[in-house]
Structure 1
Amino acid sequence: MSLRVLRHNGHPVAPANRGDADPLAGPAQGDCVGCQVRHLAVCAALPLDQARALETLAGDIPLKAGEVLAREGDSRREVFTVTAGALRRIRLLADGRRLVAGFLMPGDFIGFSGATHYRHSIEAIVDSELCAFSMQDMRTLCSRYPELERELLERACVELDATRDNLMSLARMTPLERLASFLLDMHARRRRQGYSGDEVVLPMSRTDIADYLGLTVETVSRSFTRLRQDGLIATDDPHRVALKDRKRLASLAEMRE
């Protein structure tokens, strides 16, 4: 496998290939058998013995906070699963404004698309790790394992539905409702990762959240303050939010449904 990924400094990086590892050394941290997000990843569609076929083709890519995985306009040559950290999809408009199209968390797949080039830039919010495959290797595996192809198609459909729902929400919701919906979504994603409790971890900045929700940073800050004053959340740390009343948050997020 040959993978080349552009970092923020423009230099290509070749990730470590797991197929080169000593098979007698036991499962490394990045191996499928020890992967902490396997239950969330597309490879969960395969039994563990078949997932070994993925492992021999995989490469691990570490990214420091702020480093770029792919730039808008780059050719698509690889597919990725986020195994640790968090990334954002962004697009810069002609007038210099930045749009955040979404956030990628552990277990999320950056994969197939009808486009031959990236429509967004993808960059790490915090130190992150990804499992990478060449596009051709993934196509070969899909041909060999139909269940993997079905999983990819299902995920593509779910992502499309989520994008449509988000666009409708941005058009119909007030700033407070948008933030409530966002916090509940982040909470649901954290629970899928296996965490319990009512705490939401927000690795992204308030500016990221504003650019994602289509609001100004000032409006996002005021909305956080309002939710806190109303007793719906607690925010001692800007990157950790305790949901104090999820029922009221859900009612607020669904106010215009």
Structure 2
Amino acid sequence: MHASANTTPREESGTALSCTSCGLYGICFARRLGVDDGATSPVVDRADTAIAPGRPLPGTWSERLFVLRSGALKRCRYTRSGEEVIAGFHFPGETLGLEEPTAATEQYVVLEKAHLCHIRWSRVDELMGEDPAVRDAVSRMLREELAACRERLLRACRGSARQRVAALLLDLAARRRRRSLEADRIRLPMGRREIAAYLDVTIETVSRTLSQFRRSGVIELRGRQLRLLDEPALAEIAEWGEDARLCG
């Protein structure tokens, strides 16, 4: 991964991702590789060819640790009847491949044109043995990812449909905030069908809930351009399922 952010691809929303916002930053630069020491080979491989929307992540992703530089992905699998089950969404700066797939049909599928960096797990093991800074960076990354996944799972599976939708919007805002982007302005890379499959509700329920939030002044929604107008109200809905403006 290069140190300069000038050549970094841009998100569909038009905001570039810098290396300092990347989930692999601690591995790439723990020993200042590629920055000041004149290293000729980067620690992480940078794939400059974009992956088109609708395409799965190529290769055996369980053998590599990936980071998304731009675009958006969904992690999904399909039942015998062809029903899609979505386990999560991924955005620039976030790592992929931290866990083994739970089913043979499980895969990452591109939602918006994506660019990736990747490193083999065998190389990660070597770096961890060579440098305590890398070992600490990987340990911190795993702890943070585990905590974030557990929180998302709890929020996505508990409460009413209203609570689940509110929690998802708050999560999207929090993830943008961690990347130093505007947290209240979100371009949704996923459609209502993907949101419904992730939250285990119907498409009609997602549409009705978003419309209710919009009418109450909690959000502004134009197509897939979302603006959070009242994040505290969303937090109250996510926690209790109620907000004074939505009652009655």
TM over 0.5: yes
Name the structure 1 match of 2:141.
155
Query: How far apart in 2 are the matches of 1:154 and 1:27?
Result: 24
* SS across alignment from 1:69: coil
Point out where structure 1 has 5 or more consecutive residues left out of the alignment: 1-17, 20-25
TM-score w.r.t. the length of structure 2 is: 0.79
Which position in structure 2 is the counterpart of 1:251? 236
Question: For residue 36 of structure 1, what is the aligned residue in structure 2?
Answer: 18
Contact 1:37-1:106 at 8 Å conserved across structures? no
1:216 aligns with 2:202: yes
Kept in 1, the 8 Å contact 2:170–2:234? The answer is: yes
Q: Assess if the C-alpha contact under 8 Å between 2:31 and 2:133 holds in 1.
A: no
Structure 2 gap segments, 5+ residues each: 10-15, 242-248
Which segment is superposed worse, 44-53 or 154-163?
44-53
Aligned-partner Cα distance in 2 for 1:152–1:56:
14
Question: Could you tell me which residue of structure 2 aligns to residue 59 of structure 1?
Answer: 46
* CA distance, structure 1, for counterparts of residue 127 and residue 104 of structure 2: 22
Amino acid of the structure 2 residue aligned with 1:239 = R
Instruction: Give RMSD over aligned pairs.
Output: 3.0
CA spacing shift, 1:106–1:252, aligned 2, 3 Å: same
Shift of 1:157: 2.7
Structure 1 residue 70 displacement after superposition: 4.5
Paired residues, what number? 228
Partner secondary structure for residue 55 of structure 1:
coil
SS in 2 for 1:94: coil
Mapped to 2, the partners of 1:115 and 1:126 lie a distance apart of 22
TM-score when scaled to structure 1?
A: 0.77
| Cα distance in structure 1, aligned partners of 2:72 and 2:162 | 24
CA offsets 1:59-108 (integer angstroms, 9 cap, x no match)? 3152111111148xx57332211111111100112232111111111111
Distance 1:169 1:87 in 2: 20
Q: Distance in 2 between matches of 1:199 and 1:28?
A: 23
